[in-house]
Amino acid sequence: MHGLRAFLYRRAVQEAPLDSCSPDAPSARARQVCASTSVLMILFSSSAIAISLAFQGLLNVHYAVVFAPACFLGSLLGARRR
């Protein structure tokens, strides 16, 4: 199994593109793609956690009703200031 794992790792490293999240990213567009991908992953994971907690009955709906719009407005204001 170790040989297969090493082979797959070497192949992934060879095919990996330049890290667009590094400070030496080739362009502003690459940094923008990196940032938007990161935000999408944060949105996906936080939504999955919220849905999971809601199904388990552990989500305080009163807090969610207050904080969801506040977070949405904060993200809109933060995006416009950049």
Q: Please state whether the predicted TM-score (pTM) of the whole model is above 0.85.
A: no
Whether 3 is in a domain gets the answer: no
Q: How far apart are CA 28 and CA 80, in angstroms?
A: 17
Whether 2 is in a domain gets the answer: no
* Residues 18/26, Cβ–Cβ less than 8 Å: yes
Count structural domains, the chain.
1
Whether 9 is in a domain gets the answer: no
Whether 11 is in a domain gets the answer: no
- The residue segments making up the domain with residue 51 are 21-81
Whether 41 is in a domain gets the answer: yes
| 21 compared with 15, residue with greater pLDDT | 21
Q: Which residue has the tokens 């490293």?
A: 13
Whether 4 is in a domain gets the answer: no
Task: Give residue-wise pLDDT tens across range 30-68.
Answer: 767 777 788 888 889 988 998 999 999 998 889 989 998
